[in-house]
Amino acid sequence: MQKWLLASLTLGLLAGQAFAACDGEGPRNVLFNCGGGCTIHRGVCTGIGGVHCNPTALKVLCCNGSSYTSANSCIPTSAELQRFQPDGGVQPNLLANQKSTLVVGTCGAYNGQFEQWLQSHPSVVSARAQLPRAAQ
């Protein structure tokens, strides 16, 4: 998977840059943030001076992955980074000293339906495996 991670990019994204809702159009980029005190080396977050890094996917750029490179300036902000918003929305800002990277991902709707389906359609063996041993 790491082969998909693009290397050592120090990025920023313009405030308010919007992306349309995730509509399952196919492979798109996923933006990651490594957090302060970290570097990204070929997509791997590496701590500096013992810092533990917490790479967090910020957002799947569902509908236009190319938009990311058109915004190549970094906007310093003290605002907390927004969490991943798979269904689109406004791209969060990045802190000036933070680094991000990209992976290729594929988008589908994010409305909880898949999780519900997964819970209600367990495979026969895995459903049996989750039962107490005496009940099997």
Binding site for another protein (CB under 8 A): 1-4, 6-9, 22, 24-27, 29-30, 32, 41-42, 44, 46, 52, 54-57, 60, 65-66, 68-70, 83-86, 102-111, 113-118, 121-126, 128-129
How far is the C-alpha of 58 from the C-alpha of 36, rounded, in Å?
A: 14
Minimum distance between the CB of residue 75 and another protein, rounded to whole angstroms? 20
Minimum distance between the CB of residue 17 and another protein, rounded to whole angstroms? 14
**Neighbouring residues of 61: CB distance < 8 A, sequence distance ≥ 6:** 19, 28, 29, 30, 31, 67, 68, 91
How far is the C-alpha of 125 from the C-alpha of 23, rounded, in Å?
A: 33
Cβ proximity to another protein: between 18 and 83 the closer is 83
Minimum distance between the CB of residue 28 and another protein, rounded to whole angstroms? 9
How far is the C-alpha of 11 from the C-alpha of 99, rounded, in Å?
A: 6
